[in-house]
Amino acid sequence: MTATPVLHLEKLTKDYGSVRAVDGLDLDVYPGECFGFLGPNGAGKTTTIGMILGLLWPTRGRVEVFGQEVTPMRTAALRQVGALVGAPGFYPYLSGRANLRLLARLYPQVGAARIDEVLALVGLDASAARRKVKTYSTGMKQRLGLAAALLHEPKLLILDEPTNGLDPIGMAEMRRLLRELAAQGVTIFLSSHLLHEVEQICDRVAILHRGRIVAQGPVAELLAQRRDLEEVFMAVVREPEAARG
C-alpha cells in the first residue's frame, strides 16, 4: 500500500523492569482500515495502546500517528484520535448528556448539535441521556464512552476491548456501530481477544503473543487456510506454548 499510514509503529518495545511486555513491534494501519489487534491475556495489547496514546514511554522504538511522532511530551497528533480504553470514567451523579457537555468544553468546535449527534449514533435516546450515569448498565456506560471518544470527530479510533462486560446484545450493537463508523471512513484499531468479533468487523489483523506479532494479514487471507480465526489463533499462540512445556 502506498498511502501514508494513519498509525505507524516501529520497533516499539516496552519493558516493565525485567519483563518485556512489548517486543519490537512493527505495524502500519492505513486510512479507512479496521485493524484487529488480537492476543491472549498479557500479550501486550494494552501496553501497546498506552504507548500509542502517549500514556507510557516506550523503552525503545517509536509511534507515529498521521505521520507525527507521539510521546508523552508530544501528543499533538492525538487531536485526531478518539480512544476507549478500559471502563470509561464519568461523573456518576451527572447525566450522560451533562458528562458529554463537560468533555465538549475541551473542544471549541463541539457544540450541542454534535452531542445530540453522538448520542444518536451510539443509540442513547433522550431519556437515557437525561439519566444519571450511576443508573447506567455496563452497556450504556460503554456506549457513552464511545460517544465521548467520538465527540471531536476523530479520524482514528483506538479501542481496547470495547465489548468487555457487554452481554451478547450489547456486543452485537457495538459491532454494528463499529462497522457503521468504518463505513463512514473512520480508521479503527481494535484490540480484543474475541476472535469471532474481530473476524466479523476487521479487514486486517495482527496476532500478538508475548509482546511479538506472530501472525499478520488480511482476515480473508488468514482464513483461506483455516476454518476461522480461532483456528489461526490457536495455531500461532497455543502450539508454541505447548512446545515450551
Q: Are 95 and 49 in contact (CB under 8 A)?
A: no
Give the closest residue to 144 by CA, choosing from 105, 194, 102: 102
Return the one option of Mg ion, ligand ATP, none that residue 39 interacts with (CB less than 5 to 8 A, by type): ligand ATP
User: Smallest distance from the beta carbon of 45 to ligand ATP, in angstroms?
Assistant: 3
Q: For residues 170-199, which are near ligand ATP according to CB under 6 A?
A: 193
Site string for ligand ATP, 13-42 (x = CB under 6 A): ---x--x-x-----------------x-xx
Q: What is the DSSP letter of 134?
A: G
Measured distance CA(71)–CA(38) in Å, rounded? 24
User: Smallest distance from the beta carbon of 93 to ligand ATP, in angstroms?
Assistant: 29
Site residues (vs Mg ion, CB under 5 A): 45-46
Q: Which residues contact 79 (CB under 8 A, 6 or more apart)?
A: 152
Return the one option of Mg ion, ligand ATP, none that residue 165 interacts with (CB less than 5 to 8 A, by type): none
Q: Sort 59 into a burial class: Cβ within 10 Å, 0-12 / 13-18 / 19+.
A: middle
For residue 142, state whether it binds ligand ATP (rule: CB under 6 A): no
The residue among 139 and 211 lying less far from ligand ATP, judged by its C-beta, is: 211
For residue 46, state whether it binds ligand ATP (rule: CB under 6 A): yes
Return the one option of ligand ATP, Mg ion, none that residue 2 interacts with (CB less than 5 to 8 A, by type): none
The residue among 45 and 143 lying less far from Mg ion, judged by its C-beta, is: 45
Judged by DSSP in three states, 54 sits in coil
Give the closest residue to 63 by CA, choosing from 219, 234, 39, 73: 73
User: Smallest distance from the beta carbon of 48 to ligand ATP, in angstroms?
Assistant: 7
Q: Are 84 and 162 in contact (CB under 8 A)?
A: yes
Give the closest residue to 232 by CA, choosing from 9, 78, 36: 36
Residues that bind ligand ATP (CB under 6 A): 16, 19, 21, 39, 41-47, 193
